[in-house]
Amino acid sequence: MGSARSWLGVIAQTWRIRLLTMLEYKANFFMWFAFTIAYHGVAIGALGATLYNFPSLAGWNFPEIAFLYALWMLGHSTHNLFFFSVGDVPTYVQEGTFDRFLVRPRDVLFQIVSVPNQQWPDELALALVWFVFATWYAHVRVDWIFLAAIPLVVIGGVLIDLAISLAIATISFWFVRVDTLRWVVMSLEQEFTRYPVSIYTRGVRILMAYVLPYAFMNYFPAVYFLHKNGDQLAIVPWLGLLAPLVGAVWFAGAYAFWRVGLNHYQSTGS
Amino acid sequence: MRLEPYVQFASKAFQREATYRVEVVSEIGSLVLRVYLIRALWTSLYAHNAAPPNLPLHKIITYSTVALLLSLILEVDGTRQLREKIRLGTIATDLLKPISLPAFLFSDGLGMTLLHAMNVIPSLLMALLLVHVDRPPTLQAGLAFVAAFALGYGVNFLLNFSMNCVAFWTLETFALQLVVRWLSDLLSGAIIPLAFFPGALQTLLLHLPFAAIYSTPLLIYLGLIHGPQIPQALLEQTAWLAVFVGIGALVWSRGQLRIVVQGG
């Protein structure tokens, strides 16, 4: 399977190609960066205008909602930076271009994540700026626990995001058209995570907490850092600190499912 | 200009769209989720805060749900193919044909729209399982809503058309279009009513062309624009439509001159 050095070589090459692509299409890069700003700006602007009229959303004020958004944005943009191509697997399967990954002498998932694409740390940089602002704005206490826990929460968020997109990718081995499922899950991730999970009915709360555990990307950690209480889903106040554990367990499950799916895909051989 | 070929184009577009049944299911599925979100969000907000004047909970839920149903129609962009035609150079052969290309794009888009408009009915039925949607207060309000929506549809079409014409100058326009689409969703009142924006910003937004797309038809639907305000609102929409016809015609005629430079 090659030495560690050759694996790192592949990663270095991927990033070199990404850099060269960006330098070649500079105007394009700036336009997509403008889109990133517009996307998050519109989401935050709508939240701001809403909370300007309704100061309390289930006990959360706008600075706290801004912090909730920032936590999600950090995890999600880090996931996009490293693992964006996992979401392309259903397209590869549909178009029949997936087979090329199976005949090369590298782990299939490793090949997928090292497909050169146009992801740059611009969204992550924006997320960091917004996170620092929101932390100050929401008066979050910055102590050693905060500084140690945030990177772990972000890693947990990345793993949760990755686990779910990997699971959907795997489902596409059986059902080629997974567009509906992708839409539903994307909507749950991008729109339902903007608000405190406590506003939803019981079934959706359980779904967000323990089935597609997006609540561990931002809601439960925010409950801990903002000292929120009164949610029966959070069994203990520090539940949010378990994000990396939840991420690891869900990723392990998704990866096992992926291996099963790969074997199935090989056996049909289309 | 003979109308008949364009009716045929619209009918072809309708049939083409009808073949993508999976998309229909996804569209309705994601709409149901959004209606659920609307209910959860506003119910919670109204439970913990004082309701703003003129806008009780049932009105905001009606506003957001009808906006969502309208978006099924308004999000269809029939002019998107213009960008591809310019990129690939096939626009050269399209221009040789004895038809008006903008009129073709409009009729093609209208055909696509009609199919998506059919989705509004099952979507509305699904939405009604989750929320209560008010009817327009009077028959006149209902008719004025239809007229205002038609004008808004025209403004939206010409905005999309003009944005796609930008491809005559810079070939990569998709990101730019998404920026405009996103901003226009916020500034047109598609996501939240413009009344939620503070003071001067609100006054400004109510008189920008974006408001003609979602806000004006929806406020007429809710009866918040009523009586003598209705003709005034429709007139303002018509004025924006005229302005955008001008902008569209300008970029289209200037843009065509650029094709020669690219050589196809």
Are the Cβ atoms of B40 and A34 closer than 8 angstroms? no
pLDDT value, residue A90 = 85
pTM value is 0.90
pLDDT of the residue at B241: 96
Nearest to B30 among A34, A59, A187 (CB): A187
Residues of B in contact with A203 (CB under 8 A): none
Nearest-CA distance from B79 to chain A in Å? 20
CA distance A155 to A148: 12
Residue spans of the domains in chain B: they are: 4-262
Q: Do B44 and A58 touch (CB under 8 A)?
A: yes
Looking at residue B220, the DSSP 8-state letter turns out to be H
The shortest C-alpha distance from A145 to chain B (Å) reads 32
- pLDDT (tens digit per residue) in A167-213: 999 998 887 677 778 878 888 889 999 999 999 999 999 999 999 99
ipTM of the complex: 0.89
Beta carbons of B183 and A191 less than 8 Å apart: no
Q: How many CB atoms lie within 10 A of CB A63?
A: 18
What per-residue confidence (pLDDT) applies to B141? 95
Of B25, B36, B175, the CB nearest to A31: B175
B53: left (phi over 0), alpha (psi -120 to 50) or beta: beta
Instruction: Considering only residues B166 and A179, tell me which one the structure prediction assigns the higher pLDDT.
Output: B166
Q: Per-block average pLDDT, block size 10, for chain A (270 residues)? A: 76 86 82 92 96 94 97 96 89 84 85 83 94 97 94 97 94 79 84 94 92 94 87 77 96 95 69
For residue B143, pLDDT over 70 is answered with yes
| pLDDT tens column, B239-251 | 999 999 999 999 9
Chain length of chain B: 264
Q: Is a pLDDT exceeding 50 seen at residue B264?
A: no
Q: Is B122 a residue whose pLDDT tops 90?
A: no
Q: How does pLDDT run across B49-101, given as a tens digit for each residue?
A: 998 888 999 999 999 999 999 998 898 887 888 888 887 778 888 888 888 88
Could you give the residue ranges of the DSSP H alpha helices within chain A? 4-24, 26-53, 62-83, 89-95, 99-102, 108-113, 122-137, 144-174, 179-190, 202-206, 219-225, 243-268
B37 contact residues in A (CB cutoff 8 A): 191-192
Domain ranges for chain A, please list them. Answer: 4-268
Neighbours of B121 (CB within 10 A): 10
Cβ distance of B179 and A57 shorter than 8 Å? no
